[in-house]
């Protein structure tokens, strides 16, 4: 009698155990198909509390993670199931879903302009689709998604190559600019040494800028005092920066200081002209303008992502025409 009672008790307990598990799974499925994915996640977790080995609850929990864009959690869930699974069709589904989650992670990396990470992740997605096909070589959806993932990788690598090319061109330009600057500095140093005495104040050049005092003072007979272009109280012939633009008169005067350079030919020599090239930008602002870096921008990343998403839509349309399901996660909800 004890044996009979014990068997009946065990059977009754298992039956009740299964009923509770299925109740939570059914509730989770109802929420899932109603797109209440957060609620479905909770129900599947409850089912797993009743039966931690429930394949349906674990698989559908991964689905719920995916639909909530919790791709990392979805991948972990599907991988955990796959470690203990021997059925080839189920393994094919699991690796397929892992590949889809990794594909979505690729797009997220791209949104964040993380091109290198996106390329690494699309490689993982390709590997997952290949694993799916090893277990089920006839799966048309896995074949389509593998081809699509390879296309995405090609687009990402093209963008990467263009970025590397732009960076290389920038480095070459920077190196050339640095070399030109070094050559100029060496030439200037030599010029400074050669003209050390020349640039010292002298009887005819009080500020040592190379421009004769008589030129800087002006020759207007109505002018009672020497010219003072920047009105700072120091006359031009004693002021090494007559227009106060931050550029020394000796530099703006040009190669022939006795006949100072007049770039825009407006009759006002550069050393007295605060916009010597008449481009609307003061010389003081032009002298230290920074160069723009050539790198991948947020706009470039978004354009590439948009192109990829458009191609994904085209793939899905093609799949629909072939009566296939396209890229959505395969669901184990057949009960």
d(CA 331, CA 335): 11
pLDDT(199) > 90: no
Is 62 inside any structural domain? yes
Inter-residue contact 318 to 148 (CB < 8 Å): no
Using 50, 70 and 90 to split pLDDT, how confident is the model at 181? low
Of residues 237, 238, 245, 270, the one with CA closest to residue 256 = 270
Residue numbers of the domain that contains 37: 13-68
Q: What is the pLDDT of residue 13?
A: 46
**Token duo for residue 179:** 């070399």
d(CA 83, CA 331): 19
Domain count, the chain: 1
Q: What radius of gyration, in Å, describes the C-alpha atoms of the chain?
A: 38
pLDDT(220) > 70: no
> What predicted TM-score, i.e. pTM, was given to this entire model?
0.54
Inter-residue contact 295 to 163 (CB < 8 Å): yes
d(CA 89, CA 59): 13
- Mean pLDDT, rounded, for 92-112: 92
245-293: pLDDT as tens digits: 888 878 887 878 788 888 877 878 888 888 877 766 787 776 655 433 3
Of residues 181, 162, 180, 176, the one with CA closest to residue 294 = 162
Using 50, 70 and 90 to split pLDDT, how confident is the model at 164? confident
Q: Count Cβ atoms below 10 Å from residue 35 Cβ, excluding itself.
A: 9
Is 200 inside any structural domain? no
- Mean pLDDT, rounded, for 217-235: 74
pLDDT(207) > 90: no
Is 45 inside any structural domain? yes
- CATH code, 31: 1.25.40.10
d(CA 182, CA 185): 5
Lowest-pLDDT range of 12-21, 96-105, 326-335: 326-335
Average pLDDT, the chain: 77
pLDDT(198) > 70: no
Is 57 inside any structural domain? yes
Question: What's the CA angle centered on 37, arms 36 and 38, to 5 degrees?
Answer: 95
Is 257 inside any structural domain? no
Is 315 inside any structural domain? no
Q: What is the pLDDT of residue 97?
A: 94
Q: Where do runs of H (alpha helix) occur along 246-332? A: 249-252, 283-286, 298-321
Which range, 9-18, 174-183, 288-297, is most confident?
A: 174-183
Is 149 inside any structural domain? no
Is 332 inside any structural domain? no
d(CA 234, CA 210): 17
Q: Where do runs of H (alpha helix) occur along 195-274? A: 213-217, 249-252
Lowest-pLDDT range of 134-143, 184-193, 250-259: 184-193
Whose tokens are 């796959």? That residue is 82
């Amino acid at each position: 009698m004890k044996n009979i009672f014990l068997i009946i008790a065990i059977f009754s307990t298992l039956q009740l155990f299964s009923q509770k598990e299925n109740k939570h799974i059914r509730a989770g499925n109802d929420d899932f198909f109603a797109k209440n994915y957060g609620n479905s996640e909770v129900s599947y977790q409850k089912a797993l509390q009743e039966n931690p080995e429930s394949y349906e609850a674990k698989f559908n929990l991964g689905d719920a993670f995916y639909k909530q864009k919790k791709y990392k959690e979805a991948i972990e869930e599907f991988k955990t199931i796959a470690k203990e699974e021997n059925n080839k069709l189920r393994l094919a589904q699991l690796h397929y879903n892992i590949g889809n989650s990794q594909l979505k992670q690729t797009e997220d990396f791209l949104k964040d302009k993380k091109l290198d990470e996106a390329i690494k992740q699309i490689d993982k997605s390709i590997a997952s689709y290949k694993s799916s096909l090893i277990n089920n070589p006839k799966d048309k959806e896995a074949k389509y998604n593998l081809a699509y993932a390879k296309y995405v990788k090609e687009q990402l690598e093209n963008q990467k190559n263009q970025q590397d090319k732009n960076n290389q061109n920038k480095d070459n330009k920077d190196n050339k600019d640095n070399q030109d600057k070094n050559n100029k500095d060496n030439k200037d140093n030599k010029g400074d040494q050669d003209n050390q005495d020349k640039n010292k104040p002298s009887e005819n050049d009080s500020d040592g800028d190379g421009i004769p005092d008589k030129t800087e003072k002006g020759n207007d007979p109505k002018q009672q005092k020497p010219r003072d272009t920047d009105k700072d109280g120091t006359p031009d012939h004693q002021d090494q920066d007559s227009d106060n633009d931050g550029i020394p008169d000796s530099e703006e005067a040009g190669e022939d200081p006795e006949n100072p350079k007049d770039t825009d030919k407006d009759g006002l020599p550069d050393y007295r002209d605060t916009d010597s090239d008449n481009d609307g930008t003061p010389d003081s602002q032009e002298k230290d303008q920074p160069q723009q870096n050539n790198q991948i921008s947020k706009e470039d990343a978004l354009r590439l992502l948009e192109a990829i998403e458009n191609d994904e839509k085209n793939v899905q349309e093609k799949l629909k025409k072939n009566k296939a399901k396209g890229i959505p996660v395969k669901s184990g909800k057949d009960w």
